[in-house]
Protein backbone atom coordinates (compact mmCIF):
# COMPACT_ATOMS: atom_id res chain seq x y z
CA UNK A 1 0.00 0.00 0.00
CA UNK A 2 1.36 3.44 -0.98
CA UNK A 3 2.17 5.91 1.78
CA UNK A 4 -0.17 8.45 0.18
CA UNK A 5 -3.09 6.01 0.30
CA UNK A 6 -2.38 5.11 3.92
CA UNK A 7 -2.12 8.76 4.94
CA UNK A 8 -5.32 9.70 3.07
CA UNK A 9 -7.28 6.88 4.72
CA UNK A 10 -6.18 7.89 8.22
CA UNK A 11 -6.85 11.58 7.56
CA UNK A 12 -10.34 10.75 6.27
CA UNK A 13 -11.06 8.77 9.44
CA UNK A 14 -9.81 11.56 11.72
CA UNK A 15 -11.75 14.24 9.86
CA UNK A 16 -15.00 12.41 10.66
CA UNK A 17 -14.41 12.51 14.43
CA UNK A 18 -16.21 15.03 16.65
CA UNK A 19 -13.99 17.80 18.02
CA UNK A 20 -13.92 16.48 21.60
CA UNK A 21 -12.86 13.04 20.37
CA UNK A 22 -10.15 14.53 18.17
CA UNK A 23 -8.83 16.55 21.11
CA UNK A 24 -8.65 13.46 23.33
CA UNK A 25 -6.94 11.50 20.57
CA UNK A 26 -4.43 14.31 19.98
CA UNK A 27 -3.55 14.39 23.67
CA UNK A 28 -3.13 10.60 23.76
CA UNK A 29 -0.90 10.66 20.68
CA UNK A 30 1.17 13.54 22.09
CA UNK A 31 1.66 11.60 25.32
CA UNK A 32 2.73 8.47 23.41
CA UNK A 33 5.06 10.47 21.16
CA UNK A 34 6.75 12.16 24.09
CA UNK A 35 7.17 8.82 25.84
CA UNK A 36 8.89 7.38 22.76
CA UNK A 37 11.06 10.49 22.44
CA UNK A 38 12.16 10.09 26.05
CA UNK A 39 13.00 6.41 25.46
CA UNK A 40 15.03 7.19 22.35
CA UNK A 41 16.79 10.14 23.99
CA UNK A 42 17.85 7.96 26.90
CA UNK A 43 18.98 5.19 24.55
CA UNK A 44 21.13 7.56 22.46
CA UNK A 45 22.64 9.17 25.55
CA UNK A 46 23.73 5.83 27.02
CA UNK A 47 26.67 4.12 25.27
CA UNK A 48 25.92 0.87 27.08
CA UNK A 49 22.19 0.76 26.29
CA UNK A 50 22.82 1.81 22.68
CA UNK A 51 25.41 -0.93 22.24
CA UNK A 52 23.15 -3.59 23.77
CA UNK A 53 20.13 -2.52 21.68
CA UNK A 54 22.14 -2.41 18.45
CA UNK A 55 23.59 -5.84 19.22
CA UNK A 56 20.07 -7.14 19.86
CA UNK A 57 18.93 -5.83 16.46
CA UNK A 58 21.85 -7.59 14.78
CA UNK A 59 20.68 -10.91 16.24
CA UNK A 60 17.16 -10.57 14.79
CA UNK A 61 16.28 -12.26 11.52
CA UNK A 62 14.38 -10.41 8.80
CA UNK A 63 11.03 -11.99 9.82
CA UNK A 64 11.70 -11.01 13.44
CA UNK A 65 12.42 -7.41 12.45
CA UNK A 66 9.26 -7.38 10.35
CA UNK A 67 7.26 -8.62 13.33
CA UNK A 68 8.86 -5.99 15.58
CA UNK A 69 7.86 -3.14 13.26
CA UNK A 70 4.43 -4.72 12.76
CA UNK A 71 3.77 -4.74 16.51
CA UNK A 72 4.77 -1.07 16.69
CA UNK A 73 2.40 -0.34 13.79
CA UNK A 74 -0.34 -2.28 15.56
CA UNK A 75 0.11 -0.22 18.74
CA UNK A 76 -0.30 2.96 16.69
CA UNK A 77 -3.42 1.67 14.92
CA UNK A 78 -4.89 0.63 18.27
CA UNK A 79 -4.30 4.14 19.58
CA UNK A 80 -6.13 5.58 16.56
CA UNK A 81 -9.13 3.27 16.95
CA UNK A 82 -9.32 2.40 20.66
CA UNK A 83 -12.39 4.53 21.42
CA UNK A 84 -13.73 5.16 17.93
CA UNK A 85 -17.41 4.47 18.53
CA UNK A 86 -17.96 2.22 21.52
CA UNK A 87 -18.56 3.56 25.01
CA UNK A 88 -17.22 0.27 26.40
CA UNK A 89 -14.36 -0.78 24.09
CA UNK A 90 -13.12 -4.36 24.13
CA UNK A 91 -9.88 -5.01 26.07
CA UNK A 92 -6.71 -4.62 23.96
CA UNK A 93 -5.22 -7.92 22.81
CA UNK A 94 -1.84 -9.03 24.11
CA UNK A 95 -0.33 -8.36 20.68
CA UNK A 96 -0.51 -4.58 21.28
CA UNK A 97 1.74 -4.62 24.37
CA UNK A 98 5.52 -4.21 24.05
CA UNK A 99 8.26 -4.40 26.66
CA UNK A 100 10.75 -1.55 27.06
CA UNK A 101 13.45 -3.60 25.35
CA UNK A 102 11.21 -4.15 22.34
CA UNK A 103 10.25 -0.47 22.22
CA UNK A 104 13.91 0.55 22.34
CA UNK A 105 14.74 -1.89 19.55
CA UNK A 106 11.97 -0.80 17.21
CA UNK A 107 12.58 2.92 17.81
CA UNK A 108 16.28 2.47 17.02
CA UNK A 109 15.46 0.33 13.99
CA UNK A 110 13.10 2.97 12.61
CA UNK A 111 15.67 5.70 13.26
CA UNK A 112 18.31 3.68 11.41
CA UNK A 113 15.93 3.20 8.46
CA UNK A 114 15.14 6.93 8.28
CA UNK A 115 18.81 7.84 8.61
CA UNK A 116 19.79 5.39 5.88
CA UNK A 117 17.22 7.00 3.59
CA UNK A 118 17.79 10.70 4.31
CA UNK A 119 21.29 10.94 5.86
CA UNK A 120 23.21 7.84 4.72
CA UNK A 121 26.57 9.52 5.36
CA UNK A 122 25.87 9.27 9.11
CA UNK A 123 25.93 5.48 8.83
CA UNK A 124 28.92 5.34 6.48
CA UNK A 125 31.07 6.23 9.47
CA UNK A 126 32.49 3.52 11.77
CA UNK A 127 29.89 1.88 14.00
CA UNK A 128 31.60 3.45 17.01
CA UNK A 129 30.44 6.86 15.71
CA UNK A 130 26.84 5.88 15.02
CA UNK A 131 25.49 6.81 18.43
CA UNK A 132 26.82 10.38 18.30
CA UNK A 133 25.74 10.84 14.67
CA UNK A 134 22.24 9.52 15.37
CA UNK A 135 22.01 11.58 18.55
CA UNK A 136 22.78 14.78 16.61
CA UNK A 137 20.19 13.99 13.92
CA UNK A 138 17.54 13.02 16.47
CA UNK A 139 18.20 16.15 18.56
CA UNK A 140 17.47 18.32 15.52
CA UNK A 141 14.18 16.45 14.99
CA UNK A 142 13.31 16.69 18.67
CA UNK A 143 13.87 20.45 18.75
CA UNK A 144 11.48 20.87 15.82
CA UNK A 145 8.82 18.74 17.52
CA UNK A 146 9.23 20.50 20.88
CA UNK A 147 8.81 23.88 19.25
CA UNK A 148 5.71 22.88 17.26
CA UNK A 149 4.02 21.21 20.25
CA UNK A 150 4.91 23.90 22.77
CA UNK A 151 1.32 25.32 23.01
CA UNK A 152 -1.14 23.71 25.46
CA UNK A 153 -2.35 20.21 24.64
CA UNK A 154 -4.80 20.25 21.78
CA UNK A 155 -3.92 23.80 20.76
CA UNK A 156 -2.16 22.69 17.60
CA UNK A 157 -3.38 19.22 16.71
CA UNK A 158 -1.87 19.23 13.22
CA UNK A 159 1.69 19.48 14.54
CA UNK A 160 1.05 16.37 16.64
CA UNK A 161 -1.15 14.28 14.35
CA UNK A 162 0.68 14.74 11.04
CA UNK A 163 4.09 13.41 12.21
CA UNK A 164 2.30 10.51 13.91
CA UNK A 165 0.34 9.67 10.75
CA UNK A 166 3.53 9.88 8.68
CA UNK A 167 5.22 7.46 11.07
CA UNK A 168 2.30 5.02 10.77
CA UNK A 169 2.52 5.25 6.96
CA UNK A 170 6.28 4.63 7.00
CA UNK A 171 5.84 1.62 9.29
CA UNK A 172 3.17 0.21 6.99
CA UNK A 173 5.43 0.67 3.97
CA UNK A 174 8.35 -0.98 5.77
CA UNK A 175 6.19 -3.95 6.75
CA UNK A 176 5.04 -4.38 3.14
CA UNK A 177 8.59 -4.08 1.76
CA UNK A 178 10.08 -6.46 4.32
CA UNK A 179 7.26 -8.95 3.76
CA UNK A 180 7.91 -8.90 0.01
CA UNK A 181 11.61 -9.53 0.71
CA UNK A 182 10.79 -12.66 2.70
CA UNK A 183 10.21 -11.11 6.08
CA UNK A 184 6.78 -12.62 6.64
CA UNK A 185 3.21 -11.70 5.78
CA UNK A 186 1.92 -8.16 5.64
CA UNK A 187 -1.28 -6.81 7.15
CA UNK A 188 -3.34 -7.84 4.13
CA UNK A 189 -4.84 -11.17 3.20
CA UNK A 190 -4.15 -13.05 6.42
CA UNK A 191 -6.00 -16.26 7.20
CA UNK A 192 -8.74 -16.60 9.79
CA UNK A 193 -7.46 -16.34 13.35
CA UNK A 194 -8.94 -17.04 16.77
CA UNK A 195 -10.41 -14.28 18.91
CA UNK A 196 -8.14 -13.17 21.74
CA UNK A 197 -8.68 -14.85 25.10
CA UNK A 198 -9.12 -11.48 26.82
CA UNK A 199 -11.91 -10.59 24.40
CA UNK A 200 -13.73 -13.90 24.84
CA UNK A 201 -13.56 -13.66 28.64
CA UNK A 202 -15.03 -10.13 28.53
CA UNK A 203 -18.08 -11.10 26.45
CA UNK A 204 -21.31 -10.57 28.43
CA UNK A 205 -23.98 -13.13 29.25
CA UNK A 206 -27.52 -11.88 28.61
CA UNK A 207 -30.90 -13.47 29.18
CA UNK A 208 -33.06 -14.26 26.15
CA UNK A 209 -36.15 -12.06 26.41
CA UNK A 210 -37.95 -12.95 23.17
CA UNK A 211 -38.83 -16.47 22.03
CA UNK A 212 -38.42 -17.85 18.55
CA UNK A 213 -34.80 -16.78 18.07
CA UNK A 214 -32.40 -19.49 16.97
CA UNK A 215 -28.66 -19.85 17.37
CA UNK A 216 -27.34 -19.73 13.79
CA UNK A 217 -24.52 -22.12 14.66
CA UNK A 218 -26.58 -25.09 15.89
CA UNK A 219 -29.97 -23.94 14.50
CA UNK A 220 -31.69 -24.69 17.83
CA UNK A 221 -33.98 -22.18 19.50
CA UNK A 222 -32.60 -20.05 22.35
CA UNK A 223 -35.18 -20.45 25.11
CA UNK A 224 -36.58 -17.42 26.93
CA UNK A 225 -34.70 -16.75 30.17
CA UNK A 226 -31.62 -18.73 29.17
CA UNK A 227 -28.23 -17.01 29.48
CA UNK A 228 -26.52 -16.72 26.10
CA UNK A 229 -23.47 -14.92 24.75
CA UNK A 230 -23.84 -11.48 23.19
CA UNK A 231 -21.18 -10.28 20.76
CA UNK A 232 -20.44 -6.53 20.36
CA UNK A 233 -22.56 -6.56 17.19
CA UNK A 234 -25.48 -7.64 19.47
CA UNK A 235 -25.97 -11.05 17.87
CA UNK A 236 -26.74 -13.84 20.37
CA UNK A 237 -25.44 -17.43 20.50
CA UNK A 238 -25.38 -20.41 22.83
CA UNK A 239 -22.19 -20.31 24.89
CA UNK A 240 -21.37 -23.92 23.98
CA UNK A 241 -21.68 -23.00 20.31
CA UNK A 242 -19.85 -19.67 20.15
CA UNK A 243 -16.83 -20.60 22.30
CA UNK A 244 -15.50 -23.30 19.89
CA UNK A 245 -16.27 -20.95 17.00
CA UNK A 246 -14.22 -18.10 18.50
CA UNK A 247 -11.44 -20.55 19.25
CA UNK A 248 -10.89 -20.85 15.49
CA UNK A 249 -12.01 -17.51 14.05
CA UNK A 250 -12.64 -13.97 15.32
CA UNK A 251 -15.71 -13.16 13.23
CA UNK A 252 -19.41 -13.13 14.05
CA UNK A 253 -21.20 -16.06 12.34
CA UNK A 254 -24.01 -13.69 11.32
CA UNK A 255 -22.44 -10.43 10.15
CA UNK A 256 -18.67 -11.13 10.04
CA UNK A 257 -17.97 -8.45 12.65
CA UNK A 258 -14.33 -8.89 13.68
CA UNK A 259 -13.33 -9.27 17.31
CA UNK A 260 -9.76 -8.57 18.49
CA UNK A 261 -7.24 -11.39 18.07
CA UNK A 262 -3.73 -12.08 19.36
CA UNK A 263 -2.41 -12.39 15.80
CA UNK A 264 -0.41 -9.26 14.92
CA UNK A 265 -1.10 -9.28 11.19
CA UNK A 266 -4.74 -10.21 11.71
CA UNK A 267 -5.12 -7.27 14.09
CA UNK A 268 -3.48 -4.88 11.65
CA UNK A 269 -6.00 -5.95 9.02
CA UNK A 270 -8.93 -5.67 11.45
CA UNK A 271 -8.02 -2.19 12.70
CA UNK A 272 -7.30 -0.98 9.19
CA UNK A 273 -10.81 -2.05 8.17
CA UNK A 274 -12.13 -0.07 11.15
CA UNK A 275 -10.30 3.07 9.96
CA UNK A 276 -11.56 2.61 6.40
CA UNK A 277 -15.13 2.24 7.68
CA UNK A 278 -14.85 5.37 9.85
CA UNK A 279 -13.43 7.41 6.97
CA UNK A 280 -16.15 6.33 4.53
CA UNK A 281 -18.98 7.77 6.64
Q: To the nearest whole percent, how much of the chain has pLDDT over 90?
A: 59
Indicate the pTM of the whole model.
0.83
**pLDDT of 111 strictly over 70:** yes
Count Cβ atoms below 10 Å from residue 263 Cβ, excluding itself.
20
Q: Where are the domains of the chain?
A: 3-188+263-279, 191-262
pLDDT at 148: 47
If one compares 178 and 197, the residue with the highest pLDDT of the two is 197
CA dist., res. 211 & res. 208, Å (int) = 7
Alpha helices in the chain (DSSP H): 3-15, 19-45, 47-59, 62-81, 100-118, 121-124, 130-148, 157-178, 197-202, 239-246, 264-279
Q: To the nearest whole percent, how much of the chain has pLDDT over 70?
A: 85
If one compares 38 and 97, the residue with the highest pLDDT of the two is 38
For 191-262, which CATH class? alpha beta
With beta carbons less than 8 A apart as the criterion, state whether 82 and 92 touch: yes
Nearest to 151 by CA among 162, 139, 159: 159
pLDDT at 257: 93
- Any idea how long the chain is? 281
CA dist., res. 108 & res. 39, Å (int) = 10
CA dihedral 218, 220, 223, 229 (to 10 degrees): 10
Amino acid sequence: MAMEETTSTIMAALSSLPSYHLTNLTNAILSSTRRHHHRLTFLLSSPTLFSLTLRHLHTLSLPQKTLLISRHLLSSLHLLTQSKLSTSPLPPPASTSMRDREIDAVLLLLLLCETHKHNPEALNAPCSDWRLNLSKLFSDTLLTFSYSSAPPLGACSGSVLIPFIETVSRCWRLVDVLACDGGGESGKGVNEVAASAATVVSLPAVGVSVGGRECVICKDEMRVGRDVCELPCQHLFHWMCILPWLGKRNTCPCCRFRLPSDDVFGEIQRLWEVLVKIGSR
